[in-house]
Structure 1
């Protein structure tokens, strides 16, 4: 199943969607999550009450209260992720597989974060990983990762708008 059809299937019945971008903008491709959130906010589509975009930086756990308060039907977490692919490869990672992949360097494990959010809620959650090329200090993603980020944004907009 293609990335687009997986995303379309996941979002088929969404009532309220939060996109949570995770990463460090100062570490090149690790900043792909915040990069995507900034680009989505620049599009001014967040005015729709069904959409919320959160730049969680490297501390997604700081947003658990806000996410629970917003009570979304669906949550997409986007982050750089080591998946033994080519730079810019994009994949929907099943939450059960979080332990087997190298999700970037954040203070709380994303698998624990997801388990916490799912406790006593009905949120459907997926993780979109984008294979990084570089995690060195730089203030923007490499070209392949930026291209993947823009592809994700366009695919998402094609589904939800």
Structure 2
């Protein structure tokens, strides 16, 4: 099943969606999550049922806000080492978090998702984008940036 079909299936019945971008903007491709959120915010989409959060490297700081917003769906976007080609995108099953490399954050994302889901009934997915480099740099590499824009277009097509 293609990424687009999987995302469409996940968002099929969404009423309120939060997209949470995670990553370090000073480490090239690791900043792809915040990069995507900034681009989505720049789109100036007027919809009370959408919220874009740039969580940077501290997603745990936004658990209260996420719970208060009471979304039906949450998408977490981050760079992660999955053994794919740079720029490849994949929906990662939360049970597979243990097998992928997400290490720039103060709290593990698997623990973060478990905490978020406790006492709530919204759906959560994690979208990983394979980085080319996580060296110091102020923007994603060309391949990862291209994927970021493709993801934004797919998401807009589904939710708007």
TM-score range, shorter chain: over 0.9
8 A Cα contact 1:79 1:104, kept in partner: no
Q: 1:70-149 to 2 correspondence within 5 Å?
A: 70-149=69-148
* Cα shift at 1:123: 1.2
Answer yes or no: is 1:15 the counterpart of 2:15.
yes
Structure 1 residue ranges without an equivalent (≥5):
none
Q: 2:50 maps to what in 1?
A: 51
Q: 2:30 maps to what in 1?
A: 30
Instruction: State the distance in 2 between where 1:103 and 1:149 align.
Output: 18
Structure 2 residue ranges without an equivalent (≥5):
none
Instruction: State the distance in 2 between where 1:137 and 1:116 align.
Output: 31
Instruction: State the distance in 2 between where 1:124 and 1:131 align.
Output: 23
Instruction: State the distance in 2 between where 1:79 and 1:135 align.
Output: 12
8 A Cα contact 1:82 1:102, kept in partner: yes
TM-score by length of 2: 0.99
Instruction: State the distance in 2 between where 1:68 and 1:29 align.
Output: 28
Instruction: State the distance in 1 between where 2:95 and 2:133 align.
Output: 26
Instruction: State the distance in 2 between where 1:91 and 1:82 align.
Output: 11
Answer yes or no: is 1:68 the counterpart of 2:67.
yes
8 A Cα contact 1:80 1:104, kept in partner: no
> Which secondary structure state, in structure 2, belongs to the residue aligned with residue 102 of structure 1?
coil
Supply the RMSD in Å over aligned alpha carbons.
0.5
Instruction: State the distance in 2 between where 1:137 and 1:100 align.
Output: 25
* Cα shift at 1:105: 1.1
Q: 1:150 maps to what in 2?
A: 149
TM-score by length of 1: 0.98
Structure 1 stretches of 4+ with a deviation exceeding 4 A read none
Aligned residues: 160
